[in-house]
Structure 1
Amino acid sequence: MNFKNKKPNYSSRKLDKILYKIPEIPLSRVLNENKEILKSAYHDCSDVIFREFLIGGQTNAILLYIDGLSNTEEIDHHVLMPLIRMKCLNQDSVKEKVKNEMAISDVKEIYFISDVIKQISIGNPIILMDQQTNGFSLGLPMWERRGIEEPSAESVVRGPREGFVETLRVNTSLLRRKIRHPSFKMIQMDIGRFTETQIIVAYMEGIAESTLIQEVTNRLKGIDMDGILESGYIEEMILDRPFSPFPQLLTTERPDVAASCLLEGRVVILIDGTPFVLIAPCTFASMLQAPEDYYNSFYISTFIRWLRYVFFFVALLAPSAYVAILTYHQEMIPNSLLLTIAESREQIPFPALIEAFIMEITFEALREAGVRLPKQVGAAVSIVGALVIGQAATSAGLVSSPMVMVVAITGVASFLMPRYATGVSIRLLRFPIMILSGMLGLLGVMLGITAIVAHLCTLRSFGVPYLNTTATLKVQNFKDVLIRAPWWAMDTRPELYSSEASALRRQSPDQQPGPSNNGEEG
């Protein structure tokens, strides 16, 4: 089949049809036919190199690679030079002698046009020979990659300083350095019609439940998209409840966090092109755990965790409680403080609800501006902007001083959340609860809390209840939820994830020992 004169039509599905036909084409014995098909597929691609040469001075061959993805120095030294200088061969032995002549450790045989396209796209050069129905894929990829650095979003005072990068095989090697047992398995698949992004499903054989592994792979295989450019594409496509504001998958840039989750029986999804990996399943408690909790003393980690829980509720409810009390329940405020608040609000033309909305939206805008600006000026703009705008708004009589203080405390509390997705969920839910508090007072706040808890009770992450660790009321389950127990006390794996715990759950209740959580993040 010859695609030489077929131009892609981007206004229809014609391009899709042409590309979908390519995987059905086997390599031809006639080298020129293979060359025409590949040149038609890669027309207007100046970076795709077709190098024609003679093997041993008599057999026509083509070396095909993409400039910038393959190691050209190694190609010249270990491929072209030895093959061109080979002695004369007969056609029956050319394939084996060519394979043995190249000083390359990774040489694979390919038989279809689709294999050629896939291999050169990941940086492996291809050799096609005349009168041969197969070609050779040479493991000589080389492209610019970012060095291993400390993740900026998950920095810790004590702990490993290395983070994942955008190169998939570098990330798998970081995990393999930490887990050296052959039970550590990796399943590879390609997702995306045009990007064919490499995805790795990593798990511990014998620890992770087989049903969880099967469910993860089935959901990934069901994804049908043009391309996968970041882990967020995958996350949104495999969620149990995509309309929930709460994250249902853990994301991390830290190999130590991913390794600890693997040892618990969870599944880690690595995506080529992004340093963020996905971890399934997750619970509400894991969203409030930080890697540093497991590197400090257990009493220090427990104190910080309690502080985190307290400020979680402060970040969610502080503005709503202030609006409700100030609007409907003034009797709850001490007289001296009530007089101070009344004096500060004497010139304010807006009710407390509108005042809170003005400050919250302004603060969120400043926070986003600080994230988008360059790092050198982002932090300064967000902090100085908040101070200047807060002071100017107070002087102009738009907001009161107590409201500025409440919003500032709420913003600081949201920064204590170890997961960015958790902080975003709190920021989103804060506004509807504020509306309820402005309409119904503390009754509206309680209605909002009840709705959130009811939603969390119905939420699942790959079949695991979101509130399971806190709802079961087992003392053993709280070893790594409300507190961080000493390592010598956490002697079993979490009952939610591992196959060992699953076997225990199938026993009768009087035979079941109480399993504990063994460090959900550490």
Structure 2
Amino acid sequence: MPTKAKKAKSLPEGRLDHHSIDQFEDVPIRSTIDENNKIMEELFKDSSDIVLRKFEIENGPKAMLCYVDGMVTTSAVDDALKALMILEGNAFTVDQITEQTLPVAQASKIQFFKELLTNLLSGDSVLFVDGQDTAVCLGLRGGIRRSVAEPETETVVRGPREGFNEHLRTNTSLVRSKIKSPRLKMKSFVIGTETQTNVILTYMAGIVDPRLLEEVENRLSDIRIDGVLESGYIEEFIQDQGYSPFPQVQTTERPDTVAAAILEGRVAIMVDGTPFALIAPFGFWQWLQASEDYYERFMASTLLRWLRLISLFFALLSPALYIAVSTYHPEMIPTNLLLSIAASREAIPFPAVVEALIMELAFEALREAGVRLPRIVGQAVSILGALVVGQAAVQAGIVSAAMVIVVSMTGIASFTLPRYNASISIRMLRFPLMLLASVFGLLGIMIGVMVIVGHLSKITTFGVPYLAPVTPLEVSDLKDVMVRAPWWKMNKRPKYLGNRNVRRQRPQS
């Protein structure tokens, strides 16, 4: 029996431009140019960047090409119009135009307005043909894009110098050029009812844990928001512990970092409009790992990891330790040093905790000012400002010279961490530890550290313990934690990620 034709759904009530694209999911494209033109004009009223170009196909019906000015390659649009208006004839249906006439590599047929609007506003061009209830989507995206450049937040001495930019397909191509395997999958999502932001979930089939993959897909699918303008929106939606100060998703601008994570069995999320990709799961020991560790010889990389670990504790604890020792436990300081500190603090009107808070807040303010100011003067303001303010504060008798040294060394130590979001966590936790030290001394620091370690041990990131593989202990995975073993020793992927294919190197014959 013949199937019953699907009844065309009416357009949403009221002004069309007040409705989201999702409400056009079952609204079919009309068969006449006039109807489609009326709908498009109503949808994009007062939108000067939307171009509706009417013309006639040679010896054929009327047609209309729609695109967003500035988001297409103009020369490719001209070639498509030329093919229809001058060079070709007797191509009157959508199938004939798509298969025979248009000199476009990417062309697909569309039947509903939701897909049409999504593609149009993403940079594609859409062709309507009179008498056809199907439109043609032409992949003519272009416009001005930032070129591939060196990442600004993850510079290296040795290693690739290319970084992501704001164009999603450029970013996916950079990852694809690193991993030339058909097992590299890139699953597409559209998130944001108004922005319709394209999001790519990329992973290695046959390596990634299916449970991890399913969990990430579910969390992405559950996001309900009007717009996604940067990957940070998605990071907050998908993390396990929303109120934890510790990052549970890694951010990176480097394609090689994404490729390495995918080969380990992790997943990466790339968002259109931002050069920062997300990597999950992300644990504590990834704080100490930089991409350069795997390009230098293992002994140098291991030394640098220990230096970062020591710097991490120094950045977290040194102001609190100074406050506790100088206030409650002066017997722990050598006599000569104690006399020197006492002499420098003789004219200071504030207790040590107030000194530390003043200097830490001033240092953080200078650091923030250096980021916000133009790059030419930003570094000079950060460095010279800290020197001038510190020297002036000492001469004015507001803070002691010892406190300036402690705060300066703390700031330097925080810069050694390769992960910027991890260093922010350390900077935040430094202040409650200082307050605990001012009240309880070393006991307060111990209480604070115990609370932090207990919290870290409770966190999971997509089902993976945050402190893995140290706790729970997985001895075989310790080759890439506090030390970086030689490449010929790291022949297996991390077991704590639940990889389906653990072996990375073929056994020697």
Structure 1 length as normaliser, TM-score? 0.92
Aligned to 2:6: none
Aligned to 1:450: 450
Aligned to 2:216: 216
Deviation at 1:499, TM superposition (A): 2.4
Aligned to 1:80: 81
Contact 1:290/1:418 (<8 A) preserved: yes
The equivalences for 1:368-407 within 5 A come to 368-407=368-407
Aligned to 1:476: 476
The equivalences for 1:8-407 within 5 A come to 15-16=18-19, 19-77=21-79, 79-85=80-86, 89=90, 94-99=93-98, 100-407=100-407
Contact 2:493/2:499 (<8 A) preserved: no
Aligned to 1:511: none
Deviation at 1:2, TM superposition (A): 6.8
Q: Classify the secondary structure of the residue corresponding to 1:269.
A: strand
2:462 equivalent to 1:462: yes
The amino acid that maps onto 2:82 is M
The amino acid that maps onto 2:248 is Q
Which is further off, 378-387 or 474-483? Answer: 474-483
Find the aligned partners of 2:501 and 2:83 in 1 and give their Cα distance.
57
In structure 1, the gaps of 5 or more residues are 9-14, 503-514, 518-522
**Aligned sequence identity (%):** 48
- 1:165-209 deviation line (CA, Å, top 9, x unaligned): 110000111011110010001100100001100000000000001
The amino acid that maps onto 1:42 is F
Residue number among 7, 11, 15 corresponding to 1:6 in the alignment: 15
Contact 1:267/1:280 (<8 A) preserved: yes
Deviation at 1:498, TM superposition (A): 4.4
Find the aligned partners of 1:498 and 1:201 in 2 and give their Cα distance.
18
Rate the CA distance shift 1:368–1:469 in 2: closer, same or farther, 3 A. same
Contact 2:465/2:472 (<8 A) preserved: no
Rate the CA distance shift 1:516–1:240 in 2: closer, same or farther, 3 A. farther
Rate the CA distance shift 1:290–1:155 in 2: closer, same or farther, 3 A. same
Deviation at 1:19, TM superposition (A): 4.7
Q: Classify the secondary structure of the residue corresponding to 1:126.
A: strand
In structure 2, the gaps of 5 or more residues are 1-9
Q: Classify the secondary structure of the residue corresponding to 2:108.
A: strand
Contact 2:11/2:27 (<8 A) preserved: no
Find the aligned partners of 2:404 and 2:501 in 1 and give their Cα distance.
49
The equivalences for 1:484-503 within 5 A come to 484-500=484-500
Find the aligned partners of 1:262 and 1:333 in 2 and give their Cα distance.
49
The amino acid that maps onto 2:39 is I
Aligned to 2:5: none
Q: Classify the secondary structure of the residue corresponding to 1:499.
A: coil
Find the aligned partners of 1:384 and 1:262 in 2 and give their Cα distance.
42
Contact 2:164/2:171 (<8 A) preserved: yes
Q: Classify the secondary structure of the residue corresponding to 1:131.
A: coil
The amino acid that maps onto 1:311 is S
Rate the CA distance shift 1:498–1:146 in 2: closer, same or farther, 3 A. farther
Find the aligned partners of 1:162 and 1:420 in 2 and give their Cα distance.
19
Rate the CA distance shift 1:178–1:224 in 2: closer, same or farther, 3 A. same
Deviation at 1:82, TM superposition (A): 2.1
Find the aligned partners of 1:198 and 1:474 in 2 and give their Cα distance.
37
Contact 1:495/1:501 (<8 A) preserved: no
The amino acid that maps onto 2:432 is P
